[in-house]
Structure 1
């Protein structure tokens, strides 16, 4: 299963869903970090999904494609691509439209999946798919990193209200869970909007952000969170990773 191998090589955490035990076992042997051998709908409802999740739909039939897309398309994600012929893809999209799925969300589906490198073999197809995913990932990294919620909060915040602290990941090493540029707002009362990874590291950044309110420091400060030591054993998201926020 080349797509699994390339995903692991590209430092992604790879989850495979297949309702056929034989193929689920092959995915395990290929090295997938997590394999769910159950129906697609329940599995997709079970796994954790966020704006940094990349979906590759390569099921055995358009009915299963539609089942997957009906669940995925309503959730936050970075990418969803679907393999299939023009006829198969068109049929799935039409069925989604009949179910009153927002056409804008349907347009977010990458199809035909993968970069156009004239791929023919399974390995070449996997390279094309991973190339497209990496392109999407790195283009997002180059972007400002502001979510719609954060933008709206900054634009619409009434004059005279207490300030906010904007935490931004400015560098990243190892397998830290969020990309450079990811942002999180911290309010004076301790509330947060967005996430820079969760867990102990995010809590540490939040505490230091609250200190900025106390010190009335408008210049900000650099915070390095190093999770390469023993603390990482308690928080798997930050194993062998260190990152900084400003």
Structure 2
């Protein structure tokens, strides 16, 4: 899982760096002394934030000690690490001038309460940046010569149903209209801008990106096989076959295109 998360973060590295530079402009750059990456995993994005804010203490926050140790090792000790079991231990994080949370809030049952807790960790004038929503990835043409065209749209629809079921089972889950700027405002912050950053890796993809897509498709097959039609299951079986000429690891038309949306709020 750590390798998979690292490959995903590497694919998004350019977009994250661009987002960090935008945040540096919003936050005043040199005034940022402490940065938290909440839900940091193996720390790839934390390391990118450390490059954007070289004078700041940059801390990877996650509940997994193993992933945090990987983050420390990747950075050669440059990053701080903080193990915290959220949402119970928001108070362990300390204060910060910038808090980044990428695709982590939706794993907590009460998303509004999580934003409010993070807002409470900001120093005066500090920024909370939440990367949620955006656009689902595309990695093959609509018609790629296997099965019925439009497979990815059907996978997205099935995945959305699974995502809703996942959220319904979280502790203290609360239904929320996911208007992130409005949620940041309800957390006591002043919305300070939303921007979307493109993640664009054209064909032909390098090996690590193909391995990432292969792992993603294997996971989709395991999660969704029971709800997909027979033809779509058969198409996925070809795509995840490591030896198949038309599998994702060998196709010349595989690409990776997505978009990451970042919502920000400032503490007064």
Q: Indicate whether the TM-score tops 0.5.
A: no
Query: Which is bigger in relative contact order (C-alpha 8 A, separation at least 6)?
Result: 2
TM-score with structure 1 length normalisation? Answer: 0.25
TM-score with structure 2 length normalisation? Answer: 0.23
| Larger-gyration structure (1/2) | 1
